[in-house]
């Protein structure tokens, strides 16, 4: 086989291998982002794909030679009564949906959109009126609303919902098209049978029947699968059926809103940025000065000191945990100065942990800088500090940035010491995400959303400084 063909095949195989390795590396991150857009129940039961909204037919409204079929996903389907031909279908992508139909409009109450008015003569021109932020509406988790209720008296609509102990009713003026007020404790007055669900069975229909309507000798039945059946009352048989379009995919971007609203994630993010930022700052100062001294000066014990720095990385970190905890407690008892649960306490520990390895990395970068440059500066009259500041330090910037990013990422992901040495006011993101399980009703969707948001600062830093990282990885590889 010719050399060039063999080389081309080898390059293709290597590229395919690297592409496969990249896909495997990014797969967990991709799955994390994908899961953050799913429902918590789907994650808990192991459902792989995205679920579609249910299309249960909640109400059927006959009108002359047509039907209105109203489904649980906010879908309004216009169906011809003669042969149940689907004429038009629109969906307003609602959840926990209920309907009220009058001569001119279809009113849709839902947990995620509030109230939507749809003209019966133009089903595509719906207008939405979100619930106003009255009472505890801002603190409500609308994903946990099981259903909504709507009724009408004269020119006013009244809306409520099933949510924990919520018993309020919104009053909406149908003429002015605006919410008037929230009436606390009025739910039992306007919706006395709110806990009753009218679900039945019917001969010849395997699914549950959610709605019924009669018109000109026929009964029209709406099922849980989204089908509408035409049943002849005289012949006592089903003559036709039609299925409304599938519900929309439940992509829950609202998980990110709920995460910031229901969980104190902003505190965790702030704490992580403060702790990791100062850890990187102090670790780089100490390790830069020490690494330069070790690479340029020979003094008694310098080799022993260098080896001791590397030896510290051979001891499992968990071995330090209990002694450090006891040290923190004893220090506070003796001095009355709090250490555990403070920013400076955890920053001190992180800086001490990440400085030795940073010194070892940076020593190679400084050793790769030609000594002749510094000797020339010394001959020109520069002091040793000026040589370091104006000659060595600028040339080592790529290595310092690469090492600083390593320190930042290591502190960003650390859980064990942060779990033990922080408190409710100084918890970092890893601790906060760990507390999602149990403290927030096992909302796996919020946990995945938080993990996704936690990667954003790291990804931004990486892409902003990637050229320095690449330079830093090779700066000490070749001497001279």
Q: Would the CA dihedral through 370, 374, 375, 379 be positive or negative? A: positive
Average pLDDT of the segment spanning 244-264: 85
**pLDDT for residue 438:** 59
Q: Are 51 and 457 in contact (CB under 8 A)?
A: no
pLDDT score of 381 more than 90:
no
Q: Would the CA dihedral through 400, 405, 406, 408 be positive or negative? A: positive
Average pLDDT of the segment spanning 26-48: 85
Coil, strand, or helix at residue 357?
helix
**pLDDT for residue 57:** 95
- Hey, where are the domains in the chain? 3-35, 57-243, 255-474
Which is nearest to 244 in space by CA: 48, 53, 385, 40?
Answer: 53
Write out the E strands in 64-112: 66-71, 75-80, 86-91, 98-101, 105-110
What phi and psi, each to the nearest 5 degrees, are found at residue 15?
Answer: -65, -40
SS3 content of the chain, % helix, strand, coil (to 5): 50, 20, 30
* Cα separation, 279 vs 343, whole angstroms: 10
> Residues 88-107: pLDDT tens digits?
999 999 999 999 999 999 99
Q: Are 130 and 123 in contact (CB under 8 A)?
A: no
Average pLDDT of the segment spanning 11-25: 90
Instruction: Work out the percent of the chain whose per-residue pLDDT is above 70.
Output: 95
Q: Are 36 and 445 in contact (CB under 8 A)?
A: yes
* Cα separation, 454 vs 269, whole angstroms: 7
Q: Which two tokens stand for residue 80?
A: 């011809």
Average pLDDT of the segment spanning 321-350: 91
Average pLDDT of the segment spanning 448-463: 80
The answer to which of 142-151, 366-375, 450-459 has the lowest mean pLDDT is 450-459
Higher model confidence: residue 247 or residue 307? 247
* Cα separation, 296 vs 299, whole angstroms: 10
Beta bridge partners of 5: none
Q: Are 38 and 252 in contact (CB under 8 A)?
A: yes
Q: Which two tokens stand for residue 101?
A: 């139909």
> Residues 39-78: pLDDT tens digits?
887 887 788 888 889 999 999 999 888 999 999 999 999 9
* Cα separation, 445 vs 252, whole angstroms: 9
57-243 fold: Thrombin, subunit H (2.40.10)
pLDDT band at 475 (very low <50, low <70, confident <90, very high): low
- Classify each residue of 412-444 as buried b or exposed e, where b means 16 or more C-beta atoms within 10 Å of its C-beta: bebeebbeebbeeebbbbbbbbebbeeebeebb
**pLDDT for residue 17:** 92
Average pLDDT of the segment spanning 179-195: 89
Q: Please, which residues have CB within 8 angstroms of residue 362's CB and are 6 or more apart in sequence?
A: 287, 288, 291, 292, 396, 399, 400, 403
Please return the burial class of 141, using the count of CB atoms within 10 Å of its CB with bins 0-12, 13-18 and 19+: middle
Indicate the CATH number of 255-474 among 1.10.3720.10, 1.10.357.10, 3.90.1150.10, 2.40.30.10. 1.10.3720.10
* Cα separation, 328 vs 338, whole angstroms: 8
């Amino acid at each position: 086989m010719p050399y060039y063909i063999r080389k081309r095949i080898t390059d293709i195989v290597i590229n395919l291998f690297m592409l496969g390795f990249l896909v495997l590396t990014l797969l967990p991150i991709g799955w994390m982002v994908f899961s953050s857009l799913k429902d918590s129940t789907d994650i808990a039961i192991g459902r792989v794909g995205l679920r579609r909204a249910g299309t249960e037919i909640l109400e059927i409204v006959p009108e002359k030679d047509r039907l209105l079929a109203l489904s649980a996903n906010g879908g309004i389907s216009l169906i011809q009564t003669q042969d149940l031909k689907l004429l038009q279908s629109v969906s307003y992508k609602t959840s926990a949906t209920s309907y009220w139909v009058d001569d001119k409009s279809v009113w849709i109450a839902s947990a995620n959109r509030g109230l939507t008015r749809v003209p019966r003569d133009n089903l595509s021109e719906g207008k939405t009126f979100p619930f106003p932020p009255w009472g505890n509406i801002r603190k409500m988790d609308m994903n946990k609303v099981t259903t909504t209720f709507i009724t009408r008296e004269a020119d006013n609509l009244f809306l409520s919902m099933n949510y924990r102990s919520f018993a309020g009713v919104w009053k909406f003026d149908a003429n002015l098209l605006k919410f008037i007020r929230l009436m606390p404790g009025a739910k039992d007055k306007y919706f006395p049978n709110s806990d009753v669900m009218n679900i039945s069975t019917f001969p010849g229909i395997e699914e549950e029947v959610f709605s019924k309507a009669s018109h000109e000798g026929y009964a029209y039945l709406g099922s849980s699968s989204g089908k509408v059946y035409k049943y002849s009352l005289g012949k006592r048989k089903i003559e036709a059926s039609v299925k409304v379009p599938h519900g929309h995919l439940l992509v829950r971007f609202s998980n990110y809103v709920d995460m910031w609203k229901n969980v104190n994630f902003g505190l965790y993010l702030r704490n992580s940025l403060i702790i990791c930022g100062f850890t990187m700052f102090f670790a780089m100062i100490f390790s830069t000065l020490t690494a330069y001294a070790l690479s340029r000066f020979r003094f008694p014990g310098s080799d022993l000191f260098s080896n001791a720095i590397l030896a510290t990385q051979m001891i499992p970190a968990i071995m330090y945990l209990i002694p450090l905890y006891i040290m923190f407690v004893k220090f506070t008892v003796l001095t009355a100065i709090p250490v555990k649960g403070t920013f400076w306490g955890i920053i001190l520990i992180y800086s001490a942990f990440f400085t030795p390895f940073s010194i070892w990395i940076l020593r190679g970068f400084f050793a790769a800088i030609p000594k002749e440059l510094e000797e020339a500066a010394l001959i020109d009259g520069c002091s040793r500090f000026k040589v370091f500041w104006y000659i060595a330090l600028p040339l080592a910037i790529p290595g310092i940035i690469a090492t600083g990013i390593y320190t930042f990422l290591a502190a960003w992901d650390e859980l064990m010491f942060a779990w033990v040495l922080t408190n409710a006011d100084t918890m970092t993101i890893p601790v906060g995400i760990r507390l999602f399980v149990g403290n927030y009703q096992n909302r796996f969707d919020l946990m995945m959303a938080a993990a996704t948001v936690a990667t954003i600062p790291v990804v931004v830093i990486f892409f902003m400084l990637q050229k320095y990282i690449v330079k830093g990885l090779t700066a000490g590889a070749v001497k001279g």
